[in-house]
Every structure is written in C-alpha cells, then in structure tokens.
Amino acid sequence: MTNKKKNIAVNPSWGGRFENAVNKLTVSYTSSIDVDKRLYEQDILGSLKYALALKEAKVIKNIDYLKISKGLKAILMEIESGRFQWKEELEDVHMNIEDALKRKAGNSAKKLHTGRSRNDQVSTDLRLFVLKSIDEMGELISNVQTTILDKAKRHYADLMPGFTHLQVAQPVTFGHHLMAWYEMLSRDFARLQDTKKRTSIMPLGSGALSGNRYNINRQKLAKRLNFDGISNNSIDAVSDRDFSIELLSNISILGMHLSRINEELILWSSSQFNYVDLPDEFCTGSSIMPQKKNPDVSELMRGGSARTISNLMGLLTLMKGLPLAYNRDMQEDKNFVFDSLDYSKSSLELLSLIIKRMIVNTKKMKEDCQLGHITATELADYLVLKGLPFRKAHEVVGKIVAFANKNHIQIFEVELGKLRKFSKFISEDVFTFIKPEEAIKNKNSIGGTSPKEVLKQIRNAKKRIASRK
C-alpha cells in the first residue's frame, strides 16, 4: 500500500491513468528541469508558432490563440527577468511552461498540446538550439581566425624553426605557422556549417511517433521556425539524435585542434623555448615557487578536449541500443550537448584573447634557426639544382651532417674546402643558398612559407572570412 505522505501529487498532464501518487524519489530521479530549462526560448517559440498553426487549421479559436500567445510572451519575459519559478515536480521545461500558461490563459492553454507530444516538441527545441549554437560557434571561430590573421600579418616574415617529431626540421616564418592554425579552424567552421543542413529539419507535427491528424500545415510551420525542411517519417523524427551526434563529432575535432594549438602555446611559453610570453591574466602562479607563471588556461583548454570526446562517446553509447521510437534514455542527450557547447564557446573566446595579447619573441625564434642543421634539406636542393639526383644529394648531405655533428658545428659552419670533399658540385654560392633567410624566400609555391606567399594566404583568408557575413 502506498504511503501518500511520502509521495507527491501526480503530474496533471499525464496522471489520468494512475491510482497512486508518484514517489518523490521517482520525481527527483526523472526530472530534467535543471538541464533542459536552457531550451525555454526555443520551447516558447515553437509553442507560439504551433498555436498559430492550430488556429489556421481551425483546431482552436482565435480567442484561444490570442490568450496562448499573450501568455507565452509573458512567461518569456518572466524567465528572462529571473522571476520565473521552475518546479522539479513538473519534470521538464515543457511542463513547467505549460503549467504556467494554464494560470495565464486558463482553459485555452489546455488546447495548445493538441496533436503534439513532448517527443516532437523536445526534438524541435533541441534542433533550434543547436542551429542557434552553430551560428554562435561560427562567429567565435571567425573571431579567433581574425585574431590569428592580425598576428600572422605582423610576423609574416619573422623566422622560426619548423618542427617534425618536435625536432628542428626546416625554417619557416611565424606567420606561416599561424596560418596553419587558421586553416584547421576553417575546416572546423565548414563542418559545423554543413551540419546545419541535416539539423534544419523540423520534427514538429510528428506527434508521439505516428504523426498529426489535425491537418497542420507543416511546411508553413517549418518556414515560420526558420527550418529548411520537414521530417519525412514521424518515427524517425522523434527517435533519432544523429544531428546532435554530428555536432559533438565536429566539436570533438574542434577540441582536438584547440588542444594542439594550446599545446604549442604551452611549449613555446616554456623557458626551454621562450618563443612567446603569455598574458598574465590568462596564467596563474605557484603556491610554493614564487617565480612560476603557469599557462593554466591553455592547459585546461588542452584538457577540455577530453570532455568533448567523452561527450561524443557518451551520446553514441546512449543511442546505440535504443529501439524506435522515443525512449526516456534520450533525456540524457542534452547533458552531452550543452557541456560540449559550453566548453568550446568559452575556449574560443579565451583563445582569441590569448593570441591577441601574447608577446612574440622573434629574436629567440631567429636564433634557433641556427640550430639543428635546419637548412640541410636546402643543401640537398642546392645539389639537385647543380645536377645531382635527389637521393644521391640526400646521402651527401647526410654525411655532411654527420661530419658537422662530430665537430660540434652547424653545416653552414663547415669550411668550403671540406664541403667540396663531399661533393664537387658544391661551390662558394652554397653559403648564400643555405641561409635560413634565403631558404624561406625560395619556398614560393602556393601554400609555401615565403613571406610573399604568406601575405597572399593572409589576403585570401580575409576574403574568405568576409564572405561568411
């Protein structure tokens, strides 16, 4: 026998077939209001347009529509002003708003849910939220890219070592390296934009799973909600979250890119590199070592990528075994989506400020271009231009490097006479050829590191960003 004192009243929206009150532990366990209340704007917008569709289909009278519309707009103002009281016992954002609407619109409010289920309602809300978030993300990515371009233009000709395997490889310019960051983010932007195509499909009008029998004009409803199209199957419309999975996949890739960028900032700001000085306001100190300036924000940004990957795996795991159509398991989807969006938005905002305000030590970068036999490849190219096959040239230079290492010098410090012992093709002009400053000038292929080419990349990149607006 149920102890009514330990239970609370049945939710009036679905409690008709229940004889006993729901246990308060069940209420707390099943409630999602602390998470999905973030969908209030989308939920109210969807309800406003759905009420209009009901009126046009002659399901509700004009007076009902007016009361519903006025009530929903009043609720929106209350929420945005912080005066709205969310109730856990009403489970979710939909029921909280519906309950509030009853107090404002009376019996008219009870007609709003005609032909509609929370199944197609929440799917619509979430799609609208994701679409809005993608636009916000796009703007933030563009801001970071603009900051990168400004910094790249300032340092388009400044020498730095290029690395492979974290070993000195070939000379590049700092501006050229920054443009690599730009290109990574460009693909992130494009992936998110492409996701909009599959997200901008309206589920509303699908009901619980079988459709809507009230002759709702779904095409007109979709247009009013700024969707590009409508779902073709009512079961699929309410039971899949692949658009959210696609979003989280894209954010995971973005997070990976942000992690790599911040890994470089962390390395470059170390005393071993000393390539950049990160702004004080984005670093912290040590509780025991007074000299420390730790790149904590960049480290957290690097670490946060693990969250985005985890959220993607979480949602994939959540959905993989669910039968069609809707299952309550899907309530958990928003935790993953909101967390990844929050991480990526705050990360992008911070990264733009870090790049803008960091100080670049061009002197140290240039000095390091004198290390690691950095122009060994250029020496091989020199021999090729003199008539030696590349593989033979590679072998010759390898021997020169070995000789230089034994003598604790760089290849450009080897005397001409000794260089000629390795190849008769080497003459006095070799020293000009293997200077890092000269080496970068010759890398003038499209996408190369020559200062002129880097400036072209920057100009083209600015045009690409401008075309997004």
Q: For 353-408, how does the pLDDT look when each residue is reduced to its tens digit (9 = 90+)? A: 999 999 999 999 999 999 999 999 999 999 999 999 999 999 999 999 999 999 99
Mean pLDDT over 169-177 rounds to 98
Q: Classify burial at 193, counting beta carbons within 10 Å of its beta carbon; exposed 0-12, middle 13-18, buried 19 or more.
A: middle
Q: Give the pLDDT score at 28.
A: 85
CA distances (Å), origin 77, targets 70, 74, 85, 101: 11, 5, 12, 13
Residue 423 Ramachandran class (φ > 0 left, ψ -120 to 50 alpha, else beta): beta
From 116, 112, 265, 97, select the one nearest 181 (Cα to Cα).
265
Q: Distance between CA atoms of 468 and 188, rounded to whole angstroms?
A: 14
- Contact 172/380 with Cβ under 8 angstroms? no
Q: Distance between CA atoms of 466 and 315, rounded to whole angstroms?
A: 35
Dmax (CA) for the chain in angstroms is 103
Helix ranges, 18-117 (H): 24-30, 33-36, 40-56, 62-81, 93-105
From 129, 168, 71, select the one nearest 373 (Cα to Cα).
168
Residue 86 Ramachandran class (φ > 0 left, ψ -120 to 50 alpha, else beta): beta
Q: Give the pLDDT score at 2.
A: 43
Q: Look over the chain and give the mean of its residue pLDDT values, rounded to a whole number.
A: 94
- 3-class SS at 436? helix
Q: For 270-309, how does the pLDDT look when each residue is reduced to its tens digit (9 = 90+)? A: 999 999 999 999 999 988 998 889 999 999 999 999 999 9
Bond from prior residue into 74 cis (ω within 30 degrees of 0): no
Q: Is the pLDDT of residue 421 over 50?
A: yes
- In the DSSP assignment, the letter for residue 171 is E
- Contact 439/171 with Cβ under 8 angstroms? yes
Q: Distance between CA atoms of 99 and 47, rounded to whole angstroms?
A: 13
- Contact 285/292 with Cβ under 8 angstroms? yes
Q: What single-letter amino acid sits at 284?
A: T
3-state DSSP helix/strand/coil % of the chain, to nearest 5: 65, 5, 30
In terms of DSSP bridges, do strands 229-230 and 201-202 run parallel, antiparallel, or are they unpaired?
parallel
**Angle between helix 242-268 and 174-199 (nearest 10):** 170
Mapped to the 3 state alphabet, what secondary structure does 10-44 carry? CCCCCHHHCCCCEEHHHHHHHCCHHHHHHHHHHHH
The pLDDT confidence band at residue 11, using thresholds 50, 70 and 90, is: low
Q: Give the pLDDT score at 9.
A: 52
- In the DSSP assignment, the letter for residue 203 is -
Q: Distance between CA atoms of 322 and 315, rounded to whole angstroms?
A: 12
Q: Give the pLDDT score at 136.
A: 98
Residues with a catalytic annotation lie at 165, 286
Q: For 203-213, how does the pLDDT look when each residue is reduced to its tens digit (9 = 90+)? A: 999 999 999 99
Structure tokens at 152: 């790249």
- Contact 109/49 with Cβ under 8 angstroms? no
Q: Distance between CA atoms of 164 and 162, rounded to whole angstroms?
A: 7
Q: Is the pLDDT of residue 6 over 60?
A: no
Q: Classify burial at 289, counting beta carbons within 10 Å of its beta carbon; exposed 0-12, middle 13-18, buried 19 or more.
A: exposed
Q: Is the pLDDT of residue 425 over 80?
A: yes
In terms of DSSP bridges, do strands 276-277 and 22-23 run parallel, antiparallel, or are they unpaired?
unpaired
Domains in the chain, please, with CATH? 31-114 (1.10.275.10), 119-367 (1.20.200.10), 369-466 (1.10.40.30)
Q: Distance between CA atoms of 372 and 170, rounded to whole angstroms?
A: 9
Q: Is the pLDDT of residue 5 over 50?
A: no
What is the reported pTM? Answer: 0.93
- Contact 129/43 with Cβ under 8 angstroms? no
